[in-house]
Structure 1
Amino acid sequence: MGRTEEFQELRPLLFSIAYRILGSVGEAEDAVQETWLRFEASPTSPRSTRSFLSTVVTRLSIDVLRSARVRREEYVGEWLPEPLLSDPYEDPARSAELADSVSVAALLLLERLSPLERAVFVLREVFAFGFPEVAAAVGRSESACRQLAVRARRHMAEGRPRFEADRREREELASGFFDALREGDVAGLQELLGADVSMVGDGGGKAPQLARAVSGAEKVARLLATLSSLLARVDVTFEPHEINGRPGAVFRDRDGRVLHTLALDALDGRIRAIRLVINPDKLAHLGPVADAWAIDREARRAGRAAR
């Protein structure tokens, strides 16, 4: 097998590692591309191509994350990871762990970790790398990596909910949610939301966004119904879709361009978190992006005309 074939076979794994470390589709793709360039330029063939490529993409991702953390501290409004519609890496034996690790909630928890802790956690806990491989990838001793893994697991465990909804329950909740959203049914929405539900939007200062998180079932239900009605007046539609391994939707304008994504988190039989990504820079990998400011103005005009 040639280098190109070897790389293409491992590319899904490399992207999946990089995305979990970075929370960015674009940055993960750049890290994978740079990994290929380094692999192609290497004068000798590595003993293990998988270990070599995993090490390169991990170290590149750590470097990018260190600079990204500074930018995120200056980010306008709520920061959310870029939405991922499908994870290219498949491992039936670890499908549940892989899906959980790519959820928005898990990626936000990973933001609490240092870059090294995050890389060690992803390699060890998500992809089941042995500690010798982890140590080689991050450039630390095995004992240091074991300590990093312990700290990372503790931080992740502290932030996880005790009883998360299973897949079937999530899908049933999401089906009812999107039916109620289409109808603008405030009561129907409120019944599906937890009392402490929170709704946040990530516009990054580049698109209309919520000034702050909206909390409480009644407030969130009314806001959702109002937004749904306004967007429907200007022919914005949505298609339910799995976002980061959880129920969600992609919203599009009348020309099919992406306006924003919406992802749901469920716990104890109710929807507990609703997260919207509206920042156009985080949507470009999904296709042509709509002008959110223009749609906002048109929707407001349509709303005033309907009164």
Structure 2
Amino acid sequence: MGRTEEFEELRPLLFSIAYRMLGSVGEAEDAVQETWLRYDASSVQPVSVKAFLSTTVTRISIDVLRSARVRREAYVGPWLPEPLLDDPYEEPARAAELADSVSMAALLLLERLSPLERSVFVLREVFAFTYEDVAAAVGRSQAACRQLLVRSRRHMQEGRPRFEADREERDELARRFFDAMAQGDMDGLRSLLSADVELVGDGGGKAPQLARAVAGARNVARLLATVQPLMARTGITCTPRPVNGQPGALFRDRDGNVLRVFVLDVLDGEVRTVRSVFNPDKLAHLGPVADAWAVHREVQEARRRPG
């Protein structure tokens, strides 16, 4: 097998590592491409191609993450990961575990970790790399990696997301949620929301966004039941589909351009968090992006018109 074939076989794993490290589809793809360039330029044939490429993409991701943290400190409004519709790394025996590890809730918890803690956690806890390979990837001793993993596990467990064990029940609740939203059914929405539900929006200062998170079942239900029918009148469509391994939906304008993505956290038969990504920079990998400001103006005009 040639180098190109070896690399392409491992590309899904490399992307999945980088995405969990960075929370960005674009940055993960760039890290994978840089990994290929380094592998292709190398004159050494590694004993384990998987170990070599995983080490390379991890170290690139650590460097990117360190610079990204500075940028995120100046981010306008809440920061959310870029939505991922499909994780290319498939391992059927661990499908549910891998889906939970790529959820937005899990990625936001990973943001609490240092770059080294995050890399050790992702390699060891998510992808079950040996301590020997983890140590080689991050340039630390195995003993140090064990300590890093202990700390990262503690941080993650403090706010560990727990999702609906029965995925069929979870998906049925999500279906009812989006149906109620489309119908403007405020009472129907309230019945599906936890009392302390939050709606968090990420526009990055580049799209209309909430001034702050909306909290409480009454407030969230009122907002969604009011706005969604108005958006539908302007030609906005809502297509439910999994996002980051959790129930979600993709919204498009009348021309089919991507407007926003919704992701739901479901636990104990209730929607606990609704996350909305509006920032066009975080939607470009999904296709042509809508002009969110133009859509906002249309919605405001529809609000003023009767019927």
TM-score by length of structure 2 reads 0.98
Distance 1:269 1:201 in 2: 23
Distance 2:39 2:214 in 1: 47
Are residues 36 and 161 of structure 1, via their aligned partners in 2, closer, same or farther at CA, if it must alter by over 3 Å? closer
Shift of 1:165: 4.6
The SS at the match of 2:76 is: coil
Asked whether the equivalents of residues 165 and 266 of structure 1 are also in contact (C-alpha less than 8 Å), the reply is no
List gaps (5 residues or longer) in structure 1: none
The SS at the match of 1:225 is: helix
Shift of 1:162: 5.9
Which residues of 2 match residues 94-173 of structure 1 at below 5 A? 94-161=94-161, 164-173=164-173
User: Is 1:22–2:11 an aligned residue pair?
Assistant: no
TM-score by length of structure 1 reads 0.98
Shift of 1:128: 0.1
Shift of 1:65: 0.3
Are residues 262 and 162 of structure 1, via their aligned partners in 2, closer, same or farther at CA, if it must alter by over 3 Å? closer
**1:145 is matched by which residue type in structure 2?**
C
Distance 1:63 1:282 in 2: 20
Q: CA RMSD in A?
A: 1.0
Q: For residue 199 of structure 2, what is the aligned residue in structure 1?
A: 199
Distance 1:256 1:20 in 2: 29
Deviates more, 1:48-57 or 1:153-162: 153-162
Which residues of 2 match residues 62-101 of structure 1 at below 5 A? 62-101=62-101
Q: Which runs of 4+ in 1 moved over 3 A?
A: 161-166
Shift of 1:95: 1.4
Question: What CA deviation, in whole Å up to 9, does each residue of 1:84-121 have, x standing for no partner?
Answer: 00100011222121111000100000000000000000
Shift of 1:140: 0.5
Distance 2:104 2:83 in 1: 8
Question: Percent identity, aligned pairs only?
Answer: 74
Question: What CA deviation, in whole Å up to 9, does each residue of 1:112-171 have, x standing for no partner?
Answer: 000000000000000000000000000111000000000001110111256745312210
Shift of 1:306: 2.1
Asked whether the equivalents of residues 165 and 269 of structure 1 are also in contact (C-alpha less than 8 Å), the reply is no
Asked whether the equivalents of residues 105 and 161 of structure 2 are also in contact (C-alpha less than 8 Å), the reply is no
User: Is 1:288–2:283 an aligned residue pair?
Assistant: no
Are residues 43 and 162 of structure 1, via their aligned partners in 2, closer, same or farther at CA, if it must alter by over 3 Å? closer
Shift of 1:305: 1.8
Question: What CA deviation, in whole Å up to 9, does each residue of 1:226-277 have, x standing for no partner?
Answer: 1102201111011001000000000000000000000000111100000000
Which residues of 2 match residues 214-233 of structure 1 at below 5 A? 214-233=214-233
Q: For residue 49 of structure 2, what is the aligned residue in structure 1?
A: 49
Q: How many residues end up aligned between the 2 structures?
A: 307
